[in-house]
Structure 1
Amino acid sequence: MAKRLNNQSTVGDVLKRIIEGNKLQPGMDQINVREAWGNLMGNGVNSYTQNVALRNSTLYVELTSSVLREELSLGKSKIIKMINDELGREVITNVVLR
C-alpha cells in the first residue's frame, strides 16, 4: 500500500515523489528536452525540424535542411550546454543531427 504523505508537503514535492517512485523521469526528460529545443532554437530552426528524440542521454534531431544540419553541427557543444542549462541539470551529453 502507498505511503501516506503528511499535510505539510507541497504539490511540487508530491509530484517529485510520484515521478521518482514510478520511474517516470526518462519520459519527463523526453518531454522537457522537446520543449527546450522548441523554445531555444526559435521558429527558423523549428520549421526545419521533423523529430526530436532523447535516448540514453543522446539527443537525436531530424532536420529537413542539409545546410542547417551543417550549421548546427558546428555548435553541438553550445546546443548541449543551452539545453542542459534550460533544464537545470545534465540530461544531454551528445547530439546527433540527421
Structure 2
Amino acid sequence: MAKRNNENLSIGDALKEFVETNKLEKGLNKINVADAWKKLMGNGVNNYTLSVNLERETLYVQLSSSVLREELSYGKEKIINMLNEELGKIIIKKLILR
C-alpha cells in the first residue's frame, strides 16, 4: 500500500514523486527521446527514420536511407547536444546510426 502524505503538494511534485517511487524514469526517457528526435529532425529526416531506441546512454536510430545516415554521421556530436538540450538533462552520450 502506498504511503500517504498529509502535506499539500503541487501536481508536478506529486508526479515526480510517483515517477521516482515506481521507477518509471527510464521508460519516460525513452519516450521523451523519441519525441525530441521527431521534433528536432523535422519531416525530412523523420520520413526515413524507422526506429529510435534508447538503451542505457546510447541512442540507436535506424534509417532507411544510407545517404542520410552518412550525412547525419558527420554531425553526431551536434545531434547529441541538441537532443540533450531539448530534454533538459544529459541522457544521451552516444549515437549509433543504423
Any idea what the Cα deviations from partners look like across 1:47-72, whole Å, max 9, x if unmatched?
Answer: 00000000011000000000000010
Residue 56 of structure 1 is matched in structure 2 by: 56
List alignment gaps of at least 5 residues for structure 2.
none
| Shift, 1:5, TM fit | 2.3
The separation in 1 between residues aligned to 2:92 and 2:14, in whole angstroms, is 26
Residue type of the alignment partner of 2:6 = N
TM-score, normalised by the number of residues in structure 2: 0.97
Q: 3-state DSSP class of the match of 1:59?
A: strand
Provide runs of 4+ in structure 1 moved above 6 Å: none
TM-score, normalised by the number of residues in structure 1: 0.97
Any idea what the Cα deviations from partners look like across 1:56-89, whole Å, max 9, x if unmatched?
Answer: 1100000000000001000000010000000000
Residue 41 of structure 1 is matched in structure 2 by: 41
The separation in 2 between residues aligned to 1:74 and 1:6, in whole angstroms, is 53
RMSD: 0.8
| Shift, 1:7, TM fit | 4.8
Residue type of the alignment partner of 2:83 = I
Number of residue pairs matched? 98
